[in-house]
Amino acid sequence: MQGLMMDMPLLISSILQHADRHFGDTEIVSRRVEGDIHRYTYSQCHQRARRVADALTRLGVHNGDRIATLAWNGYRHMELYYAVGGMGAVAHTINPRLHPDQIAWIVNHAGDSYLAFDTTFLPIIEAIAAKCPTVKGWIAMIDADKHPVSDKIPNLINYETLLSGGNDDFQWPELDERSAVALCYTSGTTGNPKGAMYSHRSTVLHAYAAALPDAMGASSRDSILPVVPMFHVNAWGLPYTAPMVGAKMVFPGPALDGKSLYELFETEGVTFSAGVPTVWLGLLQHVKQHDLKFSTFKRTVIGGSACPPAMIRTFNDDYGVEVVHAWGMTELSPLGTLSKLAGKHQKLSPAAQQKILEKQGHVIYGIDMKIVGDDGQDLPWDGTTFGNLLVRGPWVIKEYFKGEGGDPLVYDKEGRGWFPTGDVATIDADGYMQITDRSKDVIKSGGEWISSIDLENLAIAHPAVANAAVIGVAHPKWDERPLLIVARKPGAEVTREELLKFYEGKIAKFWMPDDVQFVDAIPLGATGKILKTRLREQFKDYTLPTA
């Protein structure tokens, strides 16, 4: 028997329409590449998005066509999100921090038919234009009177000129809610990037969940500044969540330095933000250096990589800003877990509460998770056992674009597919998850798992250690054993024995590294993460000393 409720598809166009009709004069404020501050309203955004959709239709863009963007957080990027997705095409956001060759590879893999870009990235476009045969036109997102000139870019279109040819009586089509709305490639550290293809349905459900009090807690009282970029995983869904709840939006454009961000926070009454730890370092430094306070900033979600506990404390204790530690992935739209205290935690000591808040947190309804061993068997939720983290839910991918990499899912005995995150984690009895390692970095010794990250964090605490990495090295009896690799501080002295002794009493005995090797420097990637692949290559002929 069917329910007798109105059958309305979950479409992103209905989000912007809602903001227009019910929060029409709420502002969207953007720092632009032109250098000034631009402000308009949700009603104006909706009007311009419809014009862009109409103009793209006139350009011959069809259902399912991929339209790429290479752009900062700003109102034009927001318009493109809604115009492209709303009309039934696919908004394909590309990370401009990738190498131009990678960008060209992604454009070709996606088969993008147009690419819109902030003029900051003109050099990238000039470098790739000749290599991207599917792209019929390159759209410069800038005022017409500042439109760039380039003889390296065929069919260089001005965004504002294009838009002015569109009609705002464009009607959003009633699409299948499972149709594609946006595409984002993973920044996978191994192999080629793979595309996550979000649907209207997954995007709307994610936006609902993201706004919940135990997630971002977004409301019409908020002024939201997404520091997290719109060019990667849709700025954690904020361009959908904010208009859904009628929050004011503040876009920082290209200026992500502490001073510029602080100015926007203060002039626009920002109450909520979201970003990765490194950006907050710059902001906190600026605020501390100039002895400033936040007048309106109340809470922030921090994710992307583990947030240092000290940062959580600084925000909270020194500035009265609540930090919500979060975990997600491109393949999860991206939100999976967030760490907010539950009712039962209210009576804990501040130190015990802090320990919980340092975890990556609790799933929001929609996402389910579990940890399993390499045999696929469920592991206990005791806060200490760690295993491969698997997730499922309506905003988790079931496969990558064009089937790249085959079926990524792992199936349980009921036949349900789970997405293996590649993370290793613990889950405690209350459902709070903590990432302990990446699956490929965890050291598997005699059936037991050893966290490379925990061993590294302990080593770094030694006063003579500049940086440290732990990798697994083959062992005839135990399969793998940990090898500690250390770069000493300039002029500092420390021996193998002293370092091993430093671990004593801090770890289980079988976690003790079998050896220590000294190097001049630990190799780091572009985002500051240790390049363990390079270390494994460097130590591939190394053999452990026999006991």
269 binds its own copies (CB under 8 A): yes
CB of 450 to its own copies, least distance (A): 28
414 is catalytic: no
Identify whether the C-beta of residue 496 lies closer than 8 Å to the C-beta of residue 464: no
Judged by beta carbon, residue 65 or residue 480, the one nearer its own copies is 65
Q: Decide if residue 494 touches its own copies (CB under 8 A).
A: no
Smallest distance, Å, CB 111 to its own copies? 11
Residue 330's closest CA among 437, 227, 422, 201? Answer: 422
- Does 299 bind its own copies (CB under 8 A)? Our answer is no
Q: How far is CA 409 from CA 178, 200, 400, in A?
A: 19, 22, 11
Smallest separation (angstroms) from its own copies to the CB of 217: 5
31: helix, coil or strand?
Answer: strand
Contact of 381 with 428, CB cutoff 8 Å: yes
Does 288 participate in catalysis according to the annotation? no
From 136, 259, 440, 444, active-site residue: 444
- The residue among 179 and 467 lying less far from its own copies, judged by its C-beta, is 179
**Residue 259 annotated in active site:** no
Residue 167 binds its own copies, judged by CB under 8 A: no
Q: Using the rule CB under 8 A, which residue among 113, 199, 273, 445 binds its own copies?
A: 199
Structure tokens at 403: 């089937």
Closer to its own copies by Cβ: residue 265 or 401: 401
CA distances from 158 to 129, 137, 300 (A): 16, 10, 36
Note whether 192 binds its own copies by CB under 8 A.
Answer: no
Nearer Cβ to its own copies (89/424): 89
> Is 228 among the residues that bind its own copies (CB under 8 A)?
no
Give the one residue of 32, 48, 92, 340 binding its own copies; rule: CB under 8 A: 340
Q: Which of 32, 109, 200, 532 binds its own copies (CB under 8 A)?
A: 200
Kindly state whether residue 171 participates in binding its own copies, applying the rule CB under 8 A: yes
Burial class (CB in 10 A: 0-12, 13-18, 19+), 241: buried
To the query of whether residue 444 is one of the catalytic residues in this protein, the response is yes
For residue 470, the cross-strand partners are 484
Q: Which is nearer to its own copies, 128 or 205 (CB)?
A: 205
Are the beta carbons of 322 and 299 closer than 8 angstroms?
A: yes
CA distance 143 to 32: 10
Is the CB of 139 or the CB of 209 nearer to its own copies? 209
How many Cβ atoms are within 10 Å of 352's Cβ, its own excluded?
11
Q: Does 244 bind its own copies (CB under 8 A)?
A: yes
Nearest to 151 by CA among 121, 125, 172, 116: 125
Within positions 341 to 370, which residues make up the interface with its own copies, using CB under 8 A? 341-344, 346, 362-363, 365, 368
> Whose Cβ is closer to its own copies: residue 111's or residue 254's?
111
182 phi, psi to nearest 5 deg: -155, 155
- C-beta closer to its own copies: residue 36 or 368: 368
Contact status: 265 vs its own copies (CB under 8 A):
no
Q: Which of 331, 358, 456, 480 is catalytic?
A: 331
Report the site for its own copies in 40-99 (rule: CB under 8 A).
63-64, 90
Per CB under 8 A, does 262 bind its own copies?
no
**Catalytic one of 72, 138, 172, 449:** 449
Q: Which of 69, 93, 186, 300 is catalytic?
A: 186
109 touching its own copies, by CB under 8 A: no
d(CA 303, CA 265): 20
Burial 54-79 (b: 16+ CB within 10 A, else e): bbbbebebeeebbbbbbbbbbbbbbb
Residue among 13, 69, 158, 202 that touches its own copies (CB under 8 A): 202
Using the rule CB under 8 A, is 179 a contact of its own copies? yes
Q: Check binding of 444 to its own copies (CB under 8 A).
A: no
Task: Return d(Cα 492, Cα 488) in angstroms, integer.
Answer: 6
Instruction: Please return the burial class of 119, using the count of CB atoms within 10 Å of its CB with bins 0-12, 13-18 and 19+.
Output: middle
DSSP assignment of 301-370 equals: EE-SSPPPHHHHHIIIIIH-PEEEEEEE-GGGSSEEEE----GGGTTS-HHHHHHHHTS-BEEPTT-EEE
83: left (phi over 0), alpha (psi -120 to 50) or beta: alpha
**295 touches its own copies by CB under 8 A:** no
CB of 472 to its own copies, least distance (A): 32
Least distance from its own copies to the Cβ atom of residue 179, Å: 6
Contact pick of 80, 132, 181, 443 for its own copies (by CB under 8 A): 181
Which run of H or of E encompasses 457?
helix 452-460
Which three-class secondary structure state does DSSP give residue 299?
strand
Of 24 and 282, CB closest to its own copies: 24
With CB under 8 A as the contact rule, the residue among 60, 165, 188, 431 that binds its own copies is 431
Q: Provide the token pair at 434.
A: 């903590």
Q: Which helix (H) or strand (E) holds 46?
A: helix 42-58
Matching residue, tokens 């909706």: 46
Residues 367-426 that bind its own copies (CB under 8 A): 368, 392-401, 414, 417, 419
- Which residue reads 């800003």 in tokens? 321
For the window 118-157, what string marks contact with its own copies as x by the rule CB under 8 A?
A: ----------------------------------------
Please identify every residue annotated as catalytic: 186, 331, 444, 449
